[in-house]
A = this chain, B = another copy of it.
Amino acid sequence: MDKDKIDKKDHILDVAERVFSELGFDGASTRTISGEAGVNMAMLNYYFGSKEGLFLAVFKRKIISFQDLLKNIGSDGSTSAWNKIEKYIELYTQRVVTNNCFQKLLYQELSMQRRGELSDQITDILMKNVSEIRKILQDGVKSGEFNKNIDIELVIATIYGTKNFIVNSPQLTSKVLGYDIQNDKLLEEKFKPRIEAYLKTLLKSYLMNEHDNTTK
């Protein structure tokens, strides 16, 4: 049946996502992945063409599912721009908790810039996410809700960057914060509400207070 095939592919993708996240692209061999997935090695190439094809398939499935969630926020015309930003922050910090292993992998890959074709595709997909939040910010400026002097692109860099710094260097961050970021319970209960409140306060004060960007 066709359903079985899809389920099997999905199972392989689940395992591959985990193993890639744990060991990186190079560290994860096709033998390890197929072994842990309980399928024959040749099936990976049969289904996905190549190791890189499998890697790309993992990313496609993941990022597109995130993108669908985003579209709903931007298209809601009834709420204010700031409300959308708050929703975005909540959605984003939730991803940190549930998906931080894969998030690490994603930005590792983007940082490497090996496999140029793959980097291009990841960049393209992420750009759609960026465009979503950029539009929210632009609308907020246009409506007068946000300060007109804000640097929209760097605001995006701050949201992504603050989260990435914490997720991608958990050892350092744990030392800075004083508790273990890699502990799922602490991450969910202590860290998540903290960064959520912080990002809201930080962005609110920057986006909505008066400040002059032109000095120096």
Contact = CB atoms under 8 A, between A and B. Distances in A.
A197 B216 contact: yes
A95 to B, nearest CB: 15
Interface in A90-127: 104, 107-108, 110-114, 119-120, 122-123, 126-127
A114 B24 contact: yes
Contacts of A26: 24, 26-27
Contacts of A161: 158, 161-166
A173 B24 CA distance: 22
A68 to B, nearest CB: 20
B154 A194 contact: yes
Given A114-B23, A202-B206, A177 B162 contact: no
A127 B175 contact: yes
Contacts of A163: 161
Contacts of A108: 108, 111-112
B171 A119 contact: yes
A204 interface: yes
Contact of A113 (B107, B111, B120, B171): B171
Contacts of A209: 205, 209
Contact of A158 (B149, B158, B170, B200): B158
Interface SS of A by simple majority: helix
A151 B24 contact: no
Given A161-B165, A205-B206, A206-B201, A127 B194 contact: no
Given A24-B112, A172-B110, A160 B154 contact: no
A15 interface: no
Given A157-B173, A172-B127, A112 B211 contact: no
Nearest to A200: B216
6 closest A-B pairs (Cβ-Cβ)? A161-B165, A26-B26, A161-B161, A161-B162, A111-B168, A154-B198
